[in-house]
Structure formats: C-alpha cells, structure tokens
Structure 1
Amino acid sequence: MNFRALMMTKEYDFLRTNERLGSRIILLGLGGSHAYGTSNENSDVDFRGVTLSLPSDLLGLTRFEQYEDRQTDTVIYSFNKIIRLLLECNPNTCELLGLDEDQYLIKTRLGQELIDHTDLFLTKRAVKSFGGYAGAQLRRLQNAIARDNMEQTERERHILTSVKNALYDFNRRYGTFSNGSIRLYIDEALNPELETEIFVDASYTHLPLRDYEGMWATMSNVVRDYDKIGKRNKKKDDNHLNKHAMHLLRLFMMAFDILEHGQIRTNRRGDLELLMKVRQGGFQKADGTFQAEFYEIVADYERRLEEAAENCTLPAGPDMEKVEAFVEYVNRKSIETGTVQEMFS
C-alpha cells in the first residue's frame, strides 16, 4: 500500500488544513499492524504523529493535548504530551520512535531530533509499562475464553467478580459513605431465559450525580460485554482473540529490546513467523481455547522479563535535567519561529 499517496487524499485533508497540524507536524508515521509488520488484508490503517504546540498553548490560555480523527484512525500528540507519555515508557508512543525509515511519512529536523533523543526515555519503567500492557492483554484473553466456555450460571459468577473488580476504586473511595449502601449478589433468575442472574440492592442519598452515573456505567459496560456472548460471531471473535494473543507476545518482545539491548524496534520482521502463527489461529483449539504450548511461551516470556529487569543496566528513571533542556529547546523553537516551515527552509 502506498501510504504517502493515501495521506494526500481528501480523507486526510485535516493534516494540511488544521491550524494545529499542517506545517507544525514534526513526525508522522504508521501505527498498528502496518507498523509491526503483522498486517493482513483486513487491517486498518493507523497514523500516529507529533505536532508542536501553538505559542498560545505554551504562553497563553489555550490548551492542546492531542488531535484524533476517528474516521481515519489518526492520532497526533502535542509535543509536550508525547514527552510525558514517553517518560513513562508508554508502549503506544514508544513505537513511534522505533519505526523503519520508510514507515515515516513526515519527519522534519525536529522530528529527527526527537528520535535521536530516544535514549532519554529508555528506563526500567519499561518493565512496568510493557509488562502491565502485556498483563492486561493476557487477562483480556483469559476473560474472553472463560466467558465463551462457561455454563451460564458460572458465567454470571464471573460477571459478578468482574463487576466487583471494576468497582474496586469506587468502593475504596465511597466505602465509608454514611448515607448509602450497595449489595451485589447472585440469586434465582427472574428472567425466564436464565437460571441465575446478578441482583443489586442499593440505597443512596445525597450522592453526586456524576458519581452515580459513573458507578452504573461501569457495571452496565461489564454486563453488556458479557451479554454479547449469546450473539457472538465466532469467526470474528476468534480473530480478535488471536489478535490479542499476538499482541501479548509482541509487547514482551518489544520490552526485551528495550531492557536487553536499549533500543525500540517496532517492526517485528524477525519474529513474524511466531506472531503470524498466533494471529492466524495456529495455537487455538477447536473449542476456542489455546494450546498449552502458547501458555508455555507466555510463561517463558514472563520469566525472561523478570530476568531482564534484574540484569538491566538502564537507569531506574529518566534524567529530568536533560529531558527538560530538550523540551525547552523544542518549545522555544515553536515560539520563536512564526511557522515550523521557516525552521527548515
């Protein structure tokens, strides 16, 4: 696919016409499966980038974090925001600094300088960030498989556990709220199509409406997610499961690159045989679960991550003096020059 030609189509006019983008974009590249090298004929095109803030964002009252165009799956971060994310070794933003040269669609001098400063952001925080994202992928995979293979009664119990987990933070904050109570439990179903279902006994007074809405939205989302099982499209859902499984391994692989070699390598061309086998269902059994071999790979990667964390020579955290100096340098360029184009003329 010719991504540069795609970028110039009318669908992407916002890249050229939006006052916060246009000549202020210093970096734009591929995201998602096209960046990893794991795309197939059904893969969406994702663009990710970085744009300089307007002087009013840095000196005045305006504020800008990121620009998102959902129609084209494009996300462009402000320079300051991507720095904050990179300081935490956020996997979704680290990827932008590790693309192949031909995967960048826009790369100005300042964009190259950001890439050249990658070392500032490579720290032991990658253990928690990449490991955390991988853990979330594993839980998502396990939950989806569990939902598909449980009897209805057991699935309701699983829903209850998930609801309680989702509400943990809320209960921690409002557990001592004197003017109310809430109780969740499983009982014989009133719905004739179910054997059991979750019930709630709740009584609150003087509870802020936003807190009330947030609590019920959380429970509703969990139940809605599980209720989809009865209407599942097996082929589509299996594709999603395999994609989750693939990204689980990919996150570990990228963490190893950072912790063991001090580099970000987004394109996984050397790992494609394993990753594509996972994506294409090579480890999935007929009942939707995964073969023991897949979980053995995951366990091995988890052990390797622990070893990499122990033996890693990267600093525990970033050198903030150097980071602040670089951020100030770039933001001064943004303020002192009328347009970014003048910097590169």
Structure 2
Amino acid sequence: MDRNPVEARAILLTKVGSHSYGINTDASDLDYKGIFIAPKEYYLGFKVIEQKDRGWDEDSDRFPILNGVKDLVYYEIRKYLKLAKDANPNILELLFESPEFYEYVDPIGQKLIDHRELFLSKKIKYSYSGYAYAQIRKIKSHRKWLLNPPTKKPVAEDYELTNKSAFDKSEEKAFITFLWMLIKDRIEYVEEQQELYDLISDRIDFKGVINNNQLPHEFYPYIQNLTQASDRYMDILRRTQEYRKDLYYWKSYQSWLKNRNPKRAELEAKCGFDSKHAAHCIRLVRMGNEILTTGKINVDRRGIDAEELLNIRLGNVSYDAVLAEAEKLFTQLDESYEKSVLPYKVDLDRINQLCMELVEEFN
C-alpha cells in the first residue's frame, strides 16, 4: 500500500520519542507512529501488510504535518496488537501519550485507547528491563570503542578455522534449536519445575537469548552430554561462535563510525559514553517500576523526572553514577514484580475479540 491509502485508513497518529518524553534537545528529530486498519482484502485474501516504514518521499494528503518527516512508522492493527500483547515498550506508549501529542485519533482508535489496560501484565518486567539492558550493552560497547577501538578485522584463520571448517549460520542455528528442544523437554514433565518451564516458554524468549548469544564455555560439558556431540564438533562450535561474535563486534564498530551523528559524537567524546542511551535506560527501568506498582504508563516525564533524564542525556552525570542508578532500579524492579497486582499474562481471548471488533467496525 502507498502512503496516502495507508493514512486514509489511520485510526491513530501520535508524536513519539524524546519530544513526547519531554527530554528533547535542539538536535532531536521528530518521530511519529501510527496505527491503521487495512482494507478487507488484506484479511480475507492473499495480500499481506504488517507495517509501512518507508516511501515517505511523496507528500501526505491527509497529514501535511508529516511532510518531510523521515522517522515515521504505521502499524497494521494486527501487527500492532501482537507487539502490544508482548509489552513492547515502544509500542505500548502509543496508547498512553499525553493528549497534546496525538495528531489524530479516530473513534476506532479511541476505542483501542479505552482498552489499553488489556495490554498490561507482569511481562512488563521482562520487556522493559530487556530494552533497558540493551541500552546498557550499547553504552558499554560504545565506551569500549571510544577508549580502546578494535584495529583489525577478524578472519577465520585467526581462530584456526577455514571457510569450509566453520559452521555457517544455518548449521549453528539448527544446533541451537536442537539444544533448546532438549532443554525444554527435560523441564516440561518435571512438576517441581513448572515455574521455570513457564518462564522460558512464555515470559522470556529463552530460545532467542541462546540463539543470539555465545554459549558460555562453562556450559559446554553439559551441552555436549545432552546433545551427544563429539569433542571435535564442540571445539569447532566454540571457535565458530568466538569468530562470529568478534566479527559482529568489528562490523558494529565500523557501522557506528560511519553513521554517528556529529553532535552526538562530540557529546560522547566529552563525557566518555553514550549519554542518550543512558537516559533512555534509566527512563525505561523507572517506567517499568511505575507500571508494575501503579498500573499506569507515564510516557510524558515532565513533572516526574524529565529534568534529571535530560541532565543525563546532556552528559552531566558520570558513567559510574548512571550504572549505579541503573543497578538500583533493576533491584527495585524485582521487588515491584513481586508486589504487583497485574496479571502474569494478558487475556489473549479478549485482545483477539477486540481486534475483530476494531476491524469490523472500521470496515
């Protein structure tokens, strides 16, 4: 679908990001996100669309305010609801913005907002902490690059591998999937481990975690025994994962160098770390605590902690102080989770019913 047909079927459009958090600077871009309901043929026929995040060269007939805006995404309603039910922080905020930031809300969009509590559950702890930890990983990676940048691109020979002896990505992923199935099967039928089984099969994307991270060396003996892999296989797997991890690190560094915002690079050089990521990390964990304890999402941080977050973003808070605050907030998040009266999971039947109602009423 082109831009104008998508926007003609929009049910909600809102400003998001730093401006809606109240921590924007003069260098902050305008970010917008919207939700739309596709025509019937996308639900009853073969056509598929999940989101539209490009093709903004043409002007908007419906929303001239968006002309020239590049940071813009429209989510098809089913895609939006799937992300919202998983407590995606960047998605949930669309339903909890301050009224002044909504550019457009259709009656169907208002009905969705009126049911926003359907998407709040204890899964908030894992989604918000996960996004916050991602910010910390970026902070630490960027700080390493600033203080001790890599000087050489890794090659397979450095790990005593050749292109033929190293596992390709599909082989590595197949082994990880096999490992995941074995672990899951071992837990599933042990009554005492039901909570652990629920944790790795529902509340956390455990398969994704082990698929996207290097297997810890101390786990190799157990993994080998579980999978009955040979010593040679495990040795090649270890070296392949080390090579792929270091190569990814090198490519990420090169991409970072190429795409850095000049003003942001100047700020990083000044304070020694990425202060924008630091501000968002603290914001995310604080919001996670607030949601678990109050059942409310305070997207707009003005009057709450916007000044403090902006101070962090401007590089006026030290690296050690940011990490110490984050550690304290993560500890509080565990306590908030235990005290929270939110349900452990969302009611998928009610969300599915809401989805059908929204689509039927709009079409």
- When normalised by structure 2's length, the TM-score is 0.67
Kindly tell me the number of residue pairs found equivalent between the two proteins. 276
Establish whether residue 144 from structure 1 lines up as the match of residue 142 from structure 2. Answer: yes
How far is 1:46 from its partner? 0.7
Q: Which runs of 5+ in 2 are unaligned?
A: 57-68, 160-167, 177-228
**Where in structure 2 are the equivalents of 1:278-293 lying within 5 Å?**
278-284=312-318, 290=319, 292-293=320-321
Q: Secondary structure at the match of 1:21?
A: helix
**Secondary structure of 1:48's match?**
strand
Taking the aligned partners of 1:107 and 1:230, their CA distance within structure 2 comes to 40
* Distance in structure 2 (CA, Å) of the matches to 1:313 and 1:229: 42
- Contact kept in structure 1, 2:131 and 2:284, CA below 8 Å: yes
- For 1:99 and 1:20, locate their aligned partners in 2 and report how far apart those are by CA, in whole Å: 22
Distance 1:230 1:109 in 2: 45
Whole-angstrom CA distance in 2 between matches of 1:35 and 1:131: 21
Q: Supply the AA of the counterpart residue of 1:100.
A: S
Residue 224 (str. 1) matches residue 248 (str. 2): no
Q: Is 1:295 the equivalent of 2:311?
A: no
Quote the offset at 1:228 in angstroms. Answer: 6.7
- Alpha-carbon distance between aligned partners in 1 of 2:125 and 2:131, rounded to the nearest angstrom: 10
- Cα RMSD (Å): 3.4
The 1:152–1:222 alpha-carbon spacing in structure 2 relative to 1, beyond 3 Å, is: closer
SS where residue 34 of structure 2 aligns?
strand
Match of 1:36 among 21, 39, 52: 21
The structure where strand makes up a greater share of residues is 1
Query: What residue ranges of structure 1 are gaps of 5+ in the alignment?
Result: 1-13, 162-166, 186-197, 201-214, 285-289, 336-345
Q: C-alpha separation between the residues in 2 aligned to 1:95 and 1:169?
A: 36
Q: SS of 2:52's equivalent?
A: strand
Match of 2:7 in 1: 21
Letter in 1 for 2:280: H
CA displacement 1:182-241 (0-9 Å, x = unmatched): 7859xxxxxxxxxxxx9x7xxxxxxxxxxxxxx7xx865531333478888641545880
Q: Provide the C-alpha distance between the structure 1 equivalents of 2:93 and 2:117, rounded to a whole number of angstroms.
A: 14
Quote how far apart the aligned CAs of 1:273 are.
1.8
Closer, same or farther in 2 for the Cα pair 1:332/1:303, shift >3 Å? Answer: same
What is the rounded CA distance, in whole Å, between the counterparts of 1:130 and 1:183 in structure 2?
Answer: 31
Cα offset, 1:173, TM superposition: 2.4
Shift of 1:263: 1.2
Distance 2:20 2:50 in 1: 23
* Corresponding position of 2:162: none
State the shift of 1:111 in Å: 0.8
The Cα offsets for residues 82-105 of structure 1, whole Å up to 9 and x where unpaired, read as: 100110000110111111101000
Which digits, 9 at most, give the CA deviation of each residue in 1:233-271, with x for residues without a partner? 641545880100000011112212211111122111111
Number of the residue aligned with 1:171: 172
SS of 2:11 mapped into structure 1 = strand
Indicate if the aligned counterparts of 1:50 and 1:77 stay in contact, CA closer than 8 A: yes
Shift, 1:300, TM fit: 1.0
Matched, 1:73 2:74: no
Give the secondary structure class of the aligned counterpart of 2:53.
Answer: strand
Q: 1:277 aligns with which of 311, 314, 320?
A: 311
Partner of 1:251: 284
In the TM superposition, what are the counterparts of 1:1-345 in structure 2 within 5 Å?
A: 17=4, 19-22=5-8, 24-69=9-54, 72-150=70-148, 171-174=172-175, 184=239, 221-227=248-254, 234-235=265-266, 237-238=268-269, 241-269=274-302, 270-284=304-318, 290=319, 292-335=320-363
> Secondary structure in 2 aligned to 1:26?
strand
> Partners in 1 of 2:41 and 2:150 — Cα distance?
56
Counterpart Cα distance in 1 of 2:41 and 2:10: 17
Q: Deviation per CA, 1:252-302: give whole Å up to 9, x if none.
A: 122122111111221111111210110111124xxxxx1x32222111101
Q: Is the 8 Å Cα contact of residues 147 and 229 (structure 1) preserved in structure 2? A: no
Secondary structure in 1 matching 2:274: helix
CA distance 1:170–1:90, shift in 2 (3 Å): farther
